[in-house]
A and B are shown apart, each in its own frame.
Chain A
């Protein structure tokens, strides 16, 4: 397994900069999640690591080798595609075997390696089927088996769970993490789903408009977002951002408060005036969505045991200053 390092990696498509001077160091055996909204450059970054897109600037190092000019087949990487990219004309066995065949591995050795990979992903009974005869979850496992069948330096995964239904996604998420730990693999995993990022990654790297916003362990990023974008992107429901004027902090400041740190108080006490807009019950908790004086919407996470506020009624929002985040209203960067 190996380390993957990106230094000043830039990709331009004509006048559009898809990835802008990306510096990223993925340690050996690390599970790094590249997270961001659609079009933020995360998949382009992954494709450059794979060698499927050329770099405009910068260097990519895999293991000890700069791979800028190395063909994809010689980079010693395996990739799981969003579409799985299984060969529809080949059986599951031949799909898994494909990377071994192209590398001239002898037949007996191939069969043994395919059996091991298939067994570890529960595909033993499906080896003679074609991809068209498999469910989405099974195809996804075949794609994984094809990736793990040889021992590459790193695994690249491009939104591999996005075509699965919600329930299977949660289950496969856990299986993937377990698999990565078992293989002690270096994984670079691209997703737009921050729940996946939070639950799977050793570290997450958040991108926006081709620029890296923050890298760090999920909990650290959650607790200390470096800017308003990260603050709003990480967390479900996202962090509330309240204009400083309403929070008594001045016009140049934006105050961030997580929904779990915002409380509903009596209308007569201190706090920010708001009106209840919608109350969403999730079974185990309640989200009270309130509208502030300037129409900003904020979400308050409320325990089910507590009485809900009156619909469309006035409330006063309170928070503990220790649980707030302060951002510059102009640069949107964290203050303090």
Chain B
């Protein structure tokens, strides 16, 4: 084949590739790229809360004002605290359950099903279950004879922890499944070799399981963090951002800016917050990939 006909064939294949990509690009353009750009532009205006009313151009001032405000910083702090409460605990618990269920025992499938069951539970269902459990009148605590005052979800010091607990429980199924799949991919003979090399169960866990599982753990940390930064349903349903804005994470603050209940609602401000959240989440994911990847062992 001559180099000219090879080049022609390559061009033809490339054209076909681009053509086949078109549907995906179109869907992304309509549902992701365009709304994203519109949202970015929206942030330049002081918008009235209702459509078809005149809006006022304020440009980057709005970005500066909102992203530099105390309420944004508070909301960001709450979001970071929420991520710290949910991600490490969720992964540690998921790992413990995955390791416990990764044994060849009779009936272990029942435990695996139970441990992974929350994956089939929606945020709304989880929120309803825990709202009942936290309920100061008919909940679990009064039934156990414990009756904290103020009730947990109204306590500024405990509310975020309570919502984090719901989140850990609700995401536990997915974390368990992810880590179980990772564990099952570790070749059995590595454990056998380690056992003969003198490693006890603890050494095997630290020296074989964890390093071999690190790509999966890394994935779980990145996905878990992004998920934590985007959590909304449980906060809306359980605490509504309160008490005293102590659970007012970034997603909830965006929502608050758009609700008609808020008479000073400003979609422009919500747009700025959304862009802020996007940049922070993207930055966080990139930092995690750069930092954690160096410590991750990919089996070859």
Q: What residues make up the interface of A, taking CB atoms closer than 8 Å to B?
A: 50-52, 71-73, 75, 77-79, 81, 83, 85, 87-90, 98-99, 102-103, 130-132, 146
With A83-B189, A85-B190, A87-B190 as given contacts, are A77 and B300 in contact (CB-CB < 8 Å)? Answer: no
What residues of A have a CB within 8 angstroms of the CB of B212 in the complex?
88-89
With A89-B211, A130-B300, A132-B300 as given contacts, are A102 and B199 in contact (CB-CB < 8 Å)? Answer: yes
Q: Which residue of B lies closest to A52 (CB)?
A: B192
Interface presence of B198 (CB below 8 A): yes
- Taking a contact as CB atoms closer than 8 A, the residue among A72, A88, A98 that contacts B300 in the complex is A88
- Taking a contact as CB atoms closer than 8 A, the residue among B193, B211, B297 that contacts A85 in the complex is B193
With A83-B187, A87-B190, A131-B300 as given contacts, are A72 and B195 in contact (CB-CB < 8 Å)? Answer: yes
Contact A77 B297 (CB under 8 A): no
Q: What residues make up the interface of B, taking CB atoms closer than 8 Å to A?
A: 187, 189-190, 192-200, 203, 207-208, 211-212, 214, 297-300
Contact B197 A81 (CB under 8 A): no
In the complex, what distance in Å separates the CA atom of A168 from the CA atom of B147?
74
Contact A89 B299 (CB under 8 A): yes
What residues of B have a CB within 8 angstroms of the CB of A79 in the complex?
192-193, 196
In the complex, what distance in Å separates the CA atom of A158 from the CA atom of B35?
60
Q: Which residue of A lies closest to B211 (CB)?
A: A89
Contact B203 A50 (CB under 8 A): no
What residues of A have a CB within 8 angstroms of the CB of B192 in the complex?
50, 52, 72, 79, 81, 85
Listed from nearest, the 8 A-B pairs whose CB atoms lie closest are A132-B300, A89-B297, A102-B198, A85-B193, A99-B197, A85-B189, A89-B211, A88-B299
Q: What are 6 A-B interface contacts by the 8 Å CB criterion?
A: A78-B197, A87-B208, A88-B212, A88-B297, A88-B298, A89-B214
- Least CB distance from B156 to A in Å reads 45
Q: Which residue of A lies closest to B297 (CB)?
A: A89
In the complex, what distance in Å separates the CA atom of A109 from the CA atom of B275?
58
Contact B200 A73 (CB under 8 A): yes
What residues of B have a CB within 8 angstroms of the CB of A81 in the complex?
189, 192-193
Contact A52 B195 (CB under 8 A): yes
What residues of A have a CB within 8 angstroms of the CB of B190 in the complex?
85, 87
In the complex, what distance in Å separates the CA atom of A71 from the CA atom of B196?
9
In the complex, what distance in Å separates the CA atom of A132 from the CA atom of B300?
5
In the complex, what distance in Å separates the CA atom of A52 from the CA atom of B189?
10
In the complex, what distance in Å separates the CA atom of A233 from the CA atom of B232?
69
The residue in B198, B207, B212, B297 that gathers the most chain A C-beta atoms within 10 A of its C-beta is B198
- Least CB distance from B207 to A in Å reads 8
- Least CB distance from B255 to A in Å reads 43
In the complex, what distance in Å separates the CA atom of A295 from the CA atom of B63?
91
- Least CB distance from B103 to A in Å reads 15
With A83-B187, A87-B208, A89-B211 as given contacts, are A98 and B297 in contact (CB-CB < 8 Å)? Answer: no
Q: Which residue of A lies closest to B296 (CB)?
A: A89
